[in-house]
Amino acid sequence: MHQEIDKYAHNSPLCNLDPRMKVISLMTLIFSVVLLPRLELVSFALLFSIALLFVSRLPLRFALHFLKWPFMFITFFLLIMPFSIEGTPVFSVGNVIATYEGLKYGVLIALRASSAVILALIMIATTKFGTLLKALEKLKVPNALIQILMFSYRYSFTFAQEFDRMRLAARARGFNPKTSMRTLRVLGSMAGMLFVKSYERAERVFWAMRARGYDGSVRMLSELKAGRRDWAFACFIIAFAALLHLVGG
Amino acid sequence: MEVRDLNFTYPDGTLALEDVSMDVHAGEIVAIIGPNGAGKTTLLLHLNGTLRGNGVVKICGRRVEEYDVKELVKKVGLVFQDPDDQLFMPTLYDDIAFGPINLGLDEQEVRRRVEEVLSEFRLFEYRDKCPHHLSYGERKKAALAAVLAMKPEILALDEPTANLDPKSVRELITAIKKINEEGVTVIISTHNLEILPQIADRIYLMNKTVLAEGESDKILADVSLLERAGLL
């Protein structure tokens, strides 16, 4: 039904790596990639990201399922950028002119972003979500942020289920979605209902948390250990990140 | 537990509790029965200070207002009706550990308690699963286990048998009796009348206010009383 992002977090060669090492090294690489100024280097970084995706053995279908949304966004940039920078004209659509500089910049941004989202997917999808949160906690990420991630993850499934139930119930009463004002109105009130339900649930969840001694922060037990393999992986990734800039500089 | 002349009105003006008085003695299993909207849940939410109405609620001889939040939570464990309201952590193990960690116990003790309730409720194999992958019955058990890991003196359960299949209901009753034999006072809100003779020492019948109190056989035999309460 709903595709879960940590579905393959148990059979990837990267899944047993210490999540802290994964987060630090891949985040370093992501920042390094998005700051790269030269097209050749960014292309190389993208190839590296794709290679890492293959190493991670995440199924391609699964990866594309999650990557298609950011890719759509990136495509949009690719289409807009050529027309928004002044420079040498290449072609024109109507009376808007695409420039060589704009084209180059658009491709640069698109490649950087693609590489970054692939790396981010590798980081998230090869780690159990709970473990990822524990790693973030150990890395001193603010607790409020961890809680936001935790609740978004947990309750997105509950809300999706609630919405599915409402849709089924509507269908059982003969509702047949069409492109019409009525369909929009019905879907609108369903969404409204979902908001009210989540608001009420939020209150009950808070009560239940307080009933178990919640004091504003959520602490977790963890048994994270970084071994030689973890350090080796982190050093390799960070070295690659540094190398991209050494070559570029 | 002692409740005296408790009144509570929700912010939207709905009267939920009217002059409710109730006593539950240490070691008892007491059931609170009443129709939907009778204020049973509202009453339970007063026991650990979640809601504050007008009147007196005393736990172990002290008013709830006088307790520090954590002290009160150690005394009164509250299991909510919908387990999705209660289980929020990414794995079952972490969820059960949430309460004990908040009590400030050291890691070893937290792990000991979590593993104890996991094996007691035969949930050990699910420890690394996320709550939304468990069945409703398992989630319901898990919610109870998570509260028991805090070792409360009083256990309050809101509709513990709602939506459960007969086998789960039977297991739940056995579990509650066992907990009670270990010295925990149990308060159950329910409208599942079938289970009452097996489990409740006494019953309070309520609809906004307390209508009757007594042994379960006596109350359940009085059909006209149950009809007047709007329960039958």
The yes/no answer on whether domain B2-228 falls in CATH 3.40.50.300 is yes
Beta strands across the sheet bearing B185-190: B76-79, B154-158, B185-190, B29-33, B202-207, B209-214
ipTM: 0.93
The residue ranges of chain A whose pLDDT is under 70 are 1-2, 249
- Structural domain spans, chain B: 2-228
Which of A10, A215, A180, A195 lies closest to B104 in space, CA to CA? A215
Pairwise CA distance, residues A112 & A37, whole Å:
10
**DSSP string covering chain A:** -PPPTTTTTTSSTTTTS-HHHHHHHHHHHHHHHHT---HHHHHHHHHHHHHHHHHTT--HHHHHHHHHHHHHHHHHHHHHGGGTS-SSEEEEETTEEEEHHHHHHHHHHHHHHHHHHHHHHHHHHTS-HHHHHHHHHHTT--HHHHHHHHHHHHHHHHHHHHHHHHHHHHHHTT----SSHHHHHHHHHHHHHHHHHHHHHHHHHHHHHHTTT--S-----------HHHHHHHHHHHHHHHHHHHHH-
Q: Tell me which amino acid residue B4 is.
A: R
Q: Return the CA Rg of chain A.
A: 23
Q: Please tell me the predicted confidence (pLDDT) of residue A223.
A: 83
Query: CA-CA distance, A230 to A183, in Å (whole number)?
Result: 53
Per the CB < 8 A criterion, the answer to whether B67 and B50 are in contact is no
Substitution target in A147, A165, A212 with the highest count of B β-carbons within 10 Å is A212
Total residue length of chain B: 232
Cβ of A154 within 8 Å of Cβ of B73? The answer is no
B48: its two tokens: 């650990």
Q: How far is A112 from chain B, CA to nearest CA, in Å?
A: 32
The answer to whether residues A123 and A18 touch, using CB atoms and an 8 Å cutoff, is: no
Contact B86 A205 (CB under 8 A): yes
What are the C-alpha distances in Å from A210 to residues B84, B132, B188? 15, 21, 20
Q: Is pLDDT above 70 for B88?
A: yes
Amino acid letter at B20? Answer: V
Q: Is the dihedral of CA A238, A240, A241, A246 positive or negative?
A: positive
pLDDT at position A5, please? 82
Using CA atoms, how far residue A182 sits from A163, A171, A192, in Å, is 18, 14, 15
Measure Cα distances from A218 to A134, A204, A209, B100, B215 in Å.
11, 17, 10, 12, 43
* pLDDT score of B126 more than 90: yes
Share of chain A above pLDDT 70, in %: 98
Q: Which of B107, B130, B150 sits opposite A212 (nearest CB)?
A: B150
Cα–Cα distance for residue pair B79/B149, rounded to 1 Å: 12
Distance from CA of A161 to the nearest CA of B (A): 10
Q: Please answer yes or no on whether B50 and A205 come within 8 Å at the CB atom.
A: no
Ramachandran angles phi, psi of A93, nearest 5°: -115, 115
pLDDT at B16: 93
**Quick one: tokens of B46?**
């007063």
What value does the mean pLDDT take over residues B159-163?
92
Segment B132-142, tens digit of pLDDT: 889 999 999 99
pLDDT recorded at residue A8:
83
Q: What's the pLDDT score for residue A25?
A: 96
Of B86, B101, B111, the CB nearest to A219: B101
Predicted local distance difference test score (pLDDT) of residue A71: 95
B214 to chain A nearest CA, in Å?
A: 29
How far is residue B153's CA from residue B156's CA, in Å, rounded to a whole number?
10
Using a CB-CB cut-off of 8 Å, the residues of chain B touching A219 are: 101-102
pLDDT above 90 (res B110): yes
Cβ of A151 within 8 Å of Cβ of B88? The answer is yes
Contact B146, B96 (CB under 8 A): yes
Contact B199, B33 (CB under 8 A): no
CB contact under 8 A, B90 and A153: yes
Q: Which of B138, B205, B216 is nearest to B172 (CA)?
A: B138
Least Cα separation, residue B155 to chain A (angstroms): 11
| Amino acid residing at A22 | K
Contacts of B103 in chain A (CB under 8 A): 213
Q: Report the relative pairing of strands A89-93 and A96-99 from DSSP bridges.
A: antiparallel
- Of chain B, the percentage scoring pLDDT greater than 70 comes to 100
